[in-house]
Structure 1
């Protein structure tokens, strides 16, 4: 390793610091603005630290948040993979990285050797949401105002950006792949069709779809099952796009997507309620009121289907620093057991549940492929920093689903009548 800096005995190069933090070996090529290096020269993955601001990001927010700040800002560059799909680099880092948090004395020596001036935090990139304590100015966690701001941060990026990344279905939730080589569009159709069949939809039935996004479920249920559907989303841009799509499909007499909070829906008497990808946003302490809301909307014998990301266990956890600041502010996850418990505690009867985590890994793979293939247009639409956030987030999430660090569960429940009649078939009609 070499360095262009004038050194004292206490000084160390950035490459030396990386090597000390990875005593088992650096699995990638690392170079830095001070001229130092680490890791094998022939590695297909090359990280380069461009400047002092990047070093300050790494030192003041160790872990994924600091790495994300430096990468999104362009202070840390990654060669060997496309920024729209950095999956292979993340796979290498997770499999072979021997990073260890050093003892306090060692950490002190590393920071001293790199320079105390780097402990002054630079301003975060503009794509980053406020820290949790600052969000209190928008209301308590999962208040209507704060939820609206969190949804705006993530979903009101650009409808055109989503059209390119998600594809024609405009569906930003886990697809269901009938075969591993099925197209993303066919898999999204299969997901909506599976939900409709689980809910037992028939012509003339009334469906409430909460957290309806761009209206994919709303339009599918109305078009293919003859249902009368009301959808609701907290994203103004999603609602406007969905209403235009409903009109284009000639479904405006039987379907609508409203802009607003699901808690403000006053309609009742629905035969079915679907919630696809909303539970992650509502807060675990709000589960009882969330599922009670669905229960109150259903007629006796009505069904609800909840589709959401979960943890492999039933602990209550936040989504992590990077996801919280850049992707889903205020997001919380727990296991399917906790979800089923809350549903059952209300007197609803759970009839079926399944884990689709492999399907979400394939879905994310498809979205990354779309982002990579349309990178220049996406950058023109939202800027390079935001496009990098999405590549990082989707590739990392794909890896987490593959490694069983997160899961995707569908839970189907029914509201029995006062005599216990669930009006449910003896065997599931959606299988086979």
Structure 2
């Protein structure tokens, strides 16, 4: 294919040159050019040159996110609190191709070499990895605290609107397709309690406890004395207030602290619900060693975390790393179980709940849409948009088995191999 590099392309024409199968959506640009089907259910509008510069300097999800979050790119046909249909369309039908060198030169010349200078990122974006490295190695205590602060210390009221009354920011377990989100979150906590075989008078340590949902559930429904720890000051404050409101102070406590600083030992059980994603693969050994050393012989450990459908160590994508979970890392369940086994824990049961997380995210998006106006009183429009595309995109990833959610249940057996374990799982009844 020959290309006349002297011809100046419109923005829509330049975008079309990069598509294998054409545009699956309607595209409108600030230079007046348009592309894609007129009757497409989704319209994408590029409003200004800053948005174009974002797209040119960070091709892919990061550039799209920057333009969208900053308001330089609009989506018509979906609510910003739940752009799921737009994500499905783009991820299913958007196919890029690599143009020839002359074509690429023509595209860049048409769009303007000046747009290859990156604009400042939106204020909602976290520092790049090289800047974070100035705080020390990944997953040291200071850097972990900053990463957690970026995501969780936003607004407790905003989280109440999105997560619902349970204030639970982890995968629910839906007993039926008709179950509500709140029913499913109750079932999740109860399933964890049953898997741990919690009994009145026992002691439970819940690391990465969030707003204390598991802490309160175990204390209230199982009579267990529970300590929860979180690196988010906002979460700890909210959780302690809720514990007092429910009259559970004698049994439940949430502390603002790193789990690695917990000095108490001899717990009957340990739960970790949604923490492993933050600790780093290189720290799996010390993480499971901590749990092994803090649970009594015969005690059970339940690890609940997002996983990959393979066992290759991978950081999260650019958008997730800069806007959602800085320094997050995911791996497969095989790597999780190996790490637990290698420190002497006996893995007894593994369960994949990925469809449940897709349903959970659907519920959170519905909550955000329903409470959109109130949510904007708590956070910036850009922050709310981040949550919409993050949750909708994650829902799609769980549906497509690009990511999974696993429970790994282990026990600290005694020297003779006695695990005090039933012949068959007793948590299903």
TM-score range normalised by the length of the shorter chain = over 0.9
- SS state of the match for residue 89, structure 1? helix
Q: Distance in 1 between matches of 2:81 and 2:136?
A: 34
Alignment equivalent of 2:19, drawn from 17, 22, 26 = 22
Contact 1:352/1:413 (CA < 8 Å) preserved in 2?
yes
Alignment partner, residue 284 of structure 1: 281
Alignment partner, residue 405 of structure 1: 402
Alignment equivalent of 2:364, drawn from 362, 367, 389 = 367
Alignment partner, residue 4 of structure 1: none
Q: Distance in 2 between matches of 1:299 and 1:139?
A: 34
User: Could you tell me how far 1:12 is from its partner in structure 2?
Assistant: 1.0
- SS state of the match for residue 381, structure 1? coil
- Aligned-CA RMSD value: 1.1
Please say if 1:270 is aligned against 2:267: yes
Contact 2:6/2:106 (CA < 8 Å) preserved in 1?
no
Alignment equivalent of 1:332, drawn from 315, 318, 329 = 329
Alignment partner, residue 350 of structure 2: 353
**Which whole-Å deviations, capped at 9, do the CAs of 1:68-108 have from their partners, x for residues lacking one?**
00000000000000000000010011111122243444323
User: Could you tell me how far 1:407 is from its partner in structure 2?
Assistant: 0.2
Alignment equivalent of 1:304, drawn from 290, 301, 305 = 301
Q: Distance in 2 between matches of 1:347 and 1:100?
A: 49
Alignment partner, residue 183 of structure 2: 186
- SS state of the match for residue 300, structure 2? strand
**Which whole-Å deviations, capped at 9, do the CAs of 1:244-282 have from their partners, x for residues lacking one?**
011111111111000010000000000100000000000
Alignment partner, residue 233 of structure 2: 236
Contact 2:8/2:106 (CA < 8 Å) preserved in 1?
no
**Which whole-Å deviations, capped at 9, do the CAs of 1:381-432 have from their partners, x for residues lacking one?**
1010000000000000000000000000000000001111001111111114
Residues 104, 196 of structure 1: alpha-carbon distance in 2 compared, 3 angstrom cutoff: farther
- SS state of the match for residue 150, structure 1? helix
Contact 1:10/1:112 (CA < 8 Å) preserved in 2?
no
Alignment partner, residue 198 of structure 1: 195
Contact 1:288/1:342 (CA < 8 Å) preserved in 2?
yes
Alignment partner, residue 292 of structure 2: 295
Alignment equivalent of 2:111, drawn from 106, 109, 114 = 114
- SS state of the match for residue 380, structure 1? coil
Alignment partner, residue 154 of structure 2: 157
Please say if 1:141 is aligned against 2:138: yes
Please say if 1:428 is aligned against 2:425: yes
- SS state of the match for residue 382, structure 1? coil
**Which whole-Å deviations, capped at 9, do the CAs of 1:122-146 have from their partners, x for residues lacking one?**
0000000000000012221000000
Range with greater deviation from structure 2 (418-427 or 119-128) = 418-427
Q: Distance in 2 between matches of 1:419 and 1:223?
A: 35
Aligned residue pairs total 426
Q: Distance in 1 between matches of 2:363 and 2:252?
A: 29
Q: Distance in 2 between matches of 1:230 and 1:101?
A: 54
Alignment equivalent of 1:313, drawn from 310, 319, 335 = 310
User: Could you tell me how far 1:319 is from its partner in structure 2?
Assistant: 0.6
- Consecutive unaligned residues of structure 1, counting only runs of 5 or more, are 1-7
- Consecutive unaligned residues of structure 2, counting only runs of 5 or more, are none
- SS state of the match for residue 376, structure 2? helix
Contact 2:191/2:427 (CA < 8 Å) preserved in 1?
yes
Please say if 1:49 is aligned against 2:46: yes
Q: Distance in 2 between matches of 1:77 and 1:109?
A: 26
Range with greater deviation from structure 2 (107-116 or 65-74) = 107-116
Q: Distance in 1 between matches of 2:178 and 2:47?
A: 40
Q: Distance in 1 between matches of 2:73 and 2:98?
A: 21
Alignment partner, residue 40 of structure 1: 37
**Which whole-Å deviations, capped at 9, do the CAs of 1:50-84 have from their partners, x for residues lacking one?**
00000000000000000000000000000000000
Contact 1:291/1:342 (CA < 8 Å) preserved in 2?
yes
The within-5 A match list for 1:116-135 is 116-135=113-132
**Runs of 4+ displaced beyond 6 Å:** none
Q: Distance in 2 between matches of 1:98 and 1:106?
A: 17
Contact 1:151/1:234 (CA < 8 Å) preserved in 2?
yes
TM-score for both structures, normalised by structure 1: 0.97
Alignment equivalent of 1:257, drawn from 249, 254, 257 = 254
Range with greater deviation from structure 2 (131-140 or 143-152) = 131-140
Contact 1:300/1:415 (CA < 8 Å) preserved in 2?
yes
